[in-house]
Amino acid sequence: MTTTPAPVLRTAYQKSVADYWNAEKDPVNLRLGDVDGLYHHHYGIGDYDPSVLDGPEDTRDERVIAELHRLESAQADVLLDHLGPVAPGHRLLDAGCGRGGTSIMANARFGCQVDGVSISEAQVDFADAEARRRSVDDKVRYHFRNMLDTGLPTGAFQGIWNNESTMYVDLFDLFAEHARQLAFGGRYVVITGCYNDVTGGRSKAVSRIDEHYTCNIHPRSAYFKAMAAHGLVPMNVVDLTDATIPYWELRAKSSLATGVEEPFLTAYKEGSFHYLLIAADRV
């Protein structure tokens, strides 16, 4: 018996998000990815090298872009560090994969199969082309699917991650799907911005970030509530807020600044917004 697959885009909001990312050609994503062919859709962590701001003016922008990209890839490395032991025979899932940079890095590190899913057909096509260009398309595959209902096998994945993509979905729905797909004892890792519900609701700066990206930033407590409801037990919680501020300070000095730098810096520094990594085991 065959069944008709559910549509990938279920709601008007999901369609609007897909339209946004299908049309997106922001230089802050593309020019950074051009540095080494790893195209990310997340931010960076770690101190930047101040010397990139010195030296010849005609190459300053090139130096800054390369340094921003280094910080982006450092963030992805930290995420992969928290996946725990991964063997070449394992399978990983990059949920909300963007243009696929972290999936490529995971395959290079672990040698295993990696699946990426996105509701943006343009992102999936781009990521597939990059996997083919790198001759890893036998191991790294991207799918036009909804991460709330991927249709991928139950219990098949040793690790799953969301790298700055959870703010587009309901967390209870998302973690129910992740728990279904994870093997027993498998690891889930998320890096995300979340608002500080100890200080109240969304601050003005956080609301500006939501408006810029057409997203819905969740309160910090919602992550732990939704994980607890679906058998995901946090093993590591790392506050990366201080570590990400240098990235935003450097980006604000670059030609790629989009105007969202100021609300990020304001929200982080005033304490209304946190940059968090949570690693949880499936039990």
In this prediction, the residues of the chain whose per-residue pLDDT falls under 50 are 1-4
pLDDT recorded at residue 28: 83
Largest CA distance in the chain: 67
pLDDT recorded at residue 2: 46
pLDDT recorded at residue 5: 54
Contact 231, 283 (CB under 8 A): yes
Helix (H, G, I), strand (E, B) or coil at 94: strand
Query: For 81-135, how does the pLDDT look when each residue is reduced to its tens digit (9 = 90+)?
Result: 999 999 999 999 999 999 999 999 999 999 999 999 999 999 999 999 999 999 9
Side by side, the strands of the sheet bearing 182-195 are 140-144, 113-118, 91-95, 157-163, 182-195, 273-282, 232-239
Amino acid at 244: T
Structure tokens that stand for 42 in this block: 């997340």
pLDDT recorded at residue 1: 41
Separation between Cα atoms, residue 44 and residue 102, nearest integer Å: 13
Q: What is the pairing mode between strands 140-144 and 113-118? A: parallel
CATH match for 12-282 among 3.40.50.150, 3.50.50.60, 3.40.50.720, 3.40.50.1980: 3.40.50.150
Taking the CB of residue 88, how many other CB atoms lie within 10 A of it?
Answer: 10
Count of positions (residues) in the chain? 283
Domain ranges within the chain, ordered by starting residue: 12-282
Separation between Cα atoms, residue 100 and residue 81, nearest integer Å: 18
Closest Cα to residue 155, out of 179, 175, 172?
A: 179
pLDDT recorded at residue 164: 96
